[in-house]
């Protein structure tokens, strides 16, 4: 498996390597412990906290990203603007803003909570499982993204109609439609009825 920022260990203040840890939760989203990131995604998966961000431009187009080919999970597929996992004890809102900036060099404006969704999506290619309690966020992208190539292969702004066409012919992440459908009420509130979401 290639080493990426998602699977690499990182150095602590004393120079020793630390595994990336995720927050395990129960069905109500209450924290019950932690697990190492890759271990939490091994079948059958451990339920953990995650977030998904949907950013739009002023025309109501959604910013998609195609995940970098070096990603350990779902490489090379299209997905929502940004998704990931808070560190244990980190607020999902803070994690969403942090990762959006790290991956895309964007600081979202009007970023707002859009509910939560719980799902279980196995990835047939890798065999990994997304057992997630996902916090959803919607907002605006008011500057052009500058993707980190370690994380993002490419980006595209799409209308609702263009997304439907793209989704029919290109591979998307297993969780994409679940999180999009769960976020639609907040997306419609942000973009207005004319955007077609």
The reply to whether 83 belongs to the active site is yes
The verdict on whether omega for the bond into residue 44 sits within 30 degrees of 0, i.e. cis, is yes
89 burial (CB, 10 Å; 0-12 / 13-18 / 19+) is exposed
Q: Name the catalytic one among 103, 130, 132, 151.
A: 132
Q: 93: which 2 tokens?
A: 């809102």
14 burial (CB, 10 Å; 0-12 / 13-18 / 19+) is exposed
Q: Name the catalytic one among 82, 83, 103, 130.
A: 83
SS (H, E, C) 151-168: CEEEEEEECHHHHHHHHH
Query: Are 67 and 152 in contact, with CB atoms under 8 Å apart?
Result: yes
Catalytic residues: 83, 132
């Amino acid at each position: 498996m290639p080493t990426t920022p998602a699977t690499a260990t990182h150095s602590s203040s004393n120079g020793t390597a630390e595994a990336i840890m995720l927050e395990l939760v129960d069905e109500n989203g209450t924290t019950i412990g932690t697990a190492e990131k890759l271990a939490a995604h091994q079948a059958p998966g451990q339920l953990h906290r995650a977030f998904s961000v949907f950013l739009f431009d002023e025309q109501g187009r959604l910013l998609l990203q195609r995940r970098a080919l070096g990603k350990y999970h779902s490489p090379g597929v299209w997905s929502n603007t940004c998704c990931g996992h808070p560190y244990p004890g980190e607020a999902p809102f803070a994690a969403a803003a942090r990762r959006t900036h790290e991956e895309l060099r964007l600081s979202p404006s009007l970023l707002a909570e859009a509910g939560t969704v719980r799902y279980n999506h196995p990835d047939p290619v890798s065999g990994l499982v997304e057992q997630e309690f996902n916090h959803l966020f919607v907002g605006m992208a008011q500057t052009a993204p500058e993707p980190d190539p370690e994380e993002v292969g490419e980006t595209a702004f799409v209308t609702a109609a263009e997304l439907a066409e793209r989704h029919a012919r290109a591979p998307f992440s297993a969780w994409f439609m679940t999180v999009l459908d769960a976020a639609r009420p907040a997306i419609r509130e942000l973009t207005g009825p004319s955007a077609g979401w």
